[in-house]
Amino acid sequence: MFARVYTVAILGLLLSGLLLSAGCGSKEVTPVDPEAVKNELIGKVWDCESMFRREISGDVKLTLEFLADGTVRGNGGCNSFTGTYSLAGEALSFGPLASTRKMCGAAAGEQEYSYFTFLAQINKLKVDGDDLELFADEQPSPMVFSTGGGGLW
């Protein structure tokens, strides 16, 4: 009887060890190919779906278009803008953005101000086909963009 209990205990320990070691495999992170990320961004107009969980309102889309020369352009809902961006793998930052100065209604002006302010806070991105997420350290959720694939102008 003692040998049988001893055998069952040993088998139990061996099985537990196998199960635990199966979960301890190498979880190497594949390095991000900066050119692949850049190629996914360029040539598309990204439409902003939400700004850190804030819904987008109005008839004019908030857009973002990355160009191969390191410039970015788009529309803030009322005014068009241009500027520069820096991309290193998944790290992203925007340089100063210059925009036209059309008068907007109060709601459009506030939304545009938020859009430009939030873009200045971005430090990381995740792009997957027609979906783009922009992250900022201070925000719990990303800015979410999608694209139909065409150019802005």
Q: Which tens digit of pLDDT belongs to each residue from 4-21?
A: 544 444 444 444 443 344
Pair of tokens at residue 149: 């694939």
- Cα–chain center distance at 47: 13
Distance CA(146)–CA(73), nearest Å, equals 16
pLDDT score of 35: 85
Q: Flag whether 29 is in a domain.
A: no
pLDDT score of 133: 98
Q: Flag whether 71 is in a domain.
A: yes
Q: Flag whether 9 is in a domain.
A: no
Q: Flag whether 4 is in a domain.
A: no
The average pLDDT across 88-117 equals 94
Q: How confident is the model at residue 152 (pLDDT cuts 50, 70, 90)?
A: very low
The count of structural domains within the chain is 1
Q: Flag whether 153 is in a domain.
A: no
* pTM for the model: 0.76
Q: Which domain holds residue 140?
A: 34-147
Ramachandran assignment for 141, one of left (phi > 0), alpha (psi -120 to 50 degrees), beta (any other): beta
Q: Mean pLDDT score of the chain, rounded to an integer?
A: 82
Q: What CATH number corresponds to the domain at position 101?
A: 2.40.128.270
**Residue 97, SS3?**
strand
pLDDT score of 81: 98
- What lies within 8 Å, CB to CB, of 124 at 6+ separation is 90, 91, 92, 134, 135
The average pLDDT across 28-35 equals 66
Q: Flag whether 77 is in a domain.
A: yes
Q: Flag whether 133 is in a domain.
A: yes
Q: Flag whether 17 is in a domain.
A: no
Q: Tell me if 132 sits within 8 A of 41, measured CB to CB.
A: yes
